[in-house]
Amino acid sequence: MEINKNFYDLDFDSIPINDFWNTGSEIEQKMHRIHAYPAKFPAFITTKALNYAESEGIEVKTVADIFCGCGTTAFEASRNGKDFWGCDINPVATLIAEAKSHKYNENKLNEYFNNIEIRFNALIVKKDSIKNVNNRIKYWFEDYQICDLLKLKNSIYDCLPINSYYMKFFLCAFSNILKPTSKWLQKSIKPQIDPNKRIANVWKTFSSQIEMMKKANNESDIKRNTNIKIETANFLTKRINIPKVDLLVTSPPYVTSYEYADLHQLSTLWLDFTEDYRSYREGTIGSLYHDTNYNNDVDTLNSSGKNIVLQLFEVDKRKATSVAKYFVDMQNSIEKAYKLLNSGGYALFVMGNTEYKGIRIDNAKQIVESMLKVGFININVDRRKISKKILTPYRDKQGKFTADKNARKVYSEEFIIIAKKAKQYENI
């Protein structure tokens, strides 16, 4: 549905489902599943976005994703022979994205794995070493698991070229075995211990993970001649080395009912990205832990965002403050995304509406108003059914995510918002 400046009275949830965005024409490649990651959008959306832009007469050479997450857009852009630039504030996300966006020599993978195994079996880690381990790691792991994980981590660093793609491949595998080898409640949407968990063996789990990733690599058909650059950075504060691109495909973080920093804490701690995982809360869009000024944020908001925030303020002041900051960040992101695009380029945002304590949080409308304000034209909004996104559609009485299928189901569709950056002559 094409949107114009008279969209304010439009109920976005009345926009019909467009089957075009519901399914792809091929099975998603295994490389997308080498590491668990919440809220991934389907890989086929990137290919369909490319087809859409090119059908509108745009020659797409470079694709971007400003919230690149675990690299879905990066991988699919490379498969389609396009260069890619992307960034994400989360170093675990960019590690996964870089690992999956490269084609590996199978013989080298086997050689490195064999060397790691020999080193792992030869290393001896004394229990005294645990004294120096981060206390948060001790909270999640049994002592014997910590010893084995220290052996494995040291073996990877001893056997692989530092900062190489092969190093990132094996560190990605290491990262993905941390939850099954810990006391973490599997598939939980918030960090909690499972007192009855049968904890997995470190080496057996790592070995199985590597076998899965090798099969995914063999299947991968990414193009070797494409230029893929992925940075760990906050798009809002990044000032240099931002390229011009022809197509932006991105799914911003939602007004979260969980914290990405909390969900990825095992990896950020084990991989030495931080001593305190909570440091990654600040700067993450949608976090409840921002240091922000509510009144200033409200004054900055467009009318769609302000209306939602003022309603929220009546039921939960802390949440209203968080959402106000989120909407300000989104407005700034869209303004900066507009500058990122070449003249005539296209942007595609994947975004769903949510609800909190009975207040409808109309993310899609706020994005559309932000796009109109900065100068995007030809804005089209379609609605699609959520299929395999790793995010529960159920909410509890407080409006928070829950795995309880008897709870309210409020998150079963999302929006595809496509817009064009006007060419110079179209602005005259």
Of 3.40.50.150, 3.40.50.920, 3.30.300.20, 2.40.50.140, the CATH number of 12-90+225-260+285-427 is 3.40.50.150
Q: Is the pTM of this model over 0.85?
A: yes
Q: Residue 428: what pLDDT?
A: 32
Q: Residue 354: what pLDDT?
A: 86
Q: Residue 424: what pLDDT?
A: 66
Name the residue with tokens 């690992």: 99
Give the span between the Cα atoms of 424 and 379, in whole angstroms: 17
Q: Residue 427: what pLDDT?
A: 44
Domain boundaries, the chain: 12-90+225-260+285-427, 106-219
For 200-223, the DSSP string reads PPHHHHHHHHHHHHHHHHHH----
How many CB atoms are closer than 10 A to CB 161? Answer: 9
DSSP assignment letter at 28: P
Written as tens digits, the pLDDT of the chain (428 aa) is 888 777 888 888 889 999 999 988 888 999 999 999 988 889 999 999 999 999 999 999 999 999 999 999 999 999 999 999 999 999 999 999 999 999 999 999 999 999 999 999 999 888 788 888 999 999 999 999 999 999 999 999 999 999 899 999 999 999 999 999 999 998 777 899 999 999 999 999 999 999 999 999 999 999 878 999 999 999 999 999 999 999 999 999 877 656 788 999 999 999 999 998 888 877 777 666 667 789 999 999 999 999 999 999 999 998 899 899 999 999 999 999 999 999 999 999 999 988 888 899 999 999 999 999 999 999 999 999 986 555 565 656 555 556 666 665 556 789 999 999 998 645 43
Q: Tokens for 223, please give them.
A: 């193009």
Relative to beta strand 83-88, strand 62-65 is: parallel
CB 348 within 8 A of CB 41: no
CA dihedral of residues 286, 289, 291, 294 (deg, nearest 10):
60
Q: Residue 38: what pLDDT?
A: 86
> Residue 226 — φ and ψ, nearest 5°?
-90, 150
Give the span between the Cα atoms of 54 and 412, in whole angstroms: 29
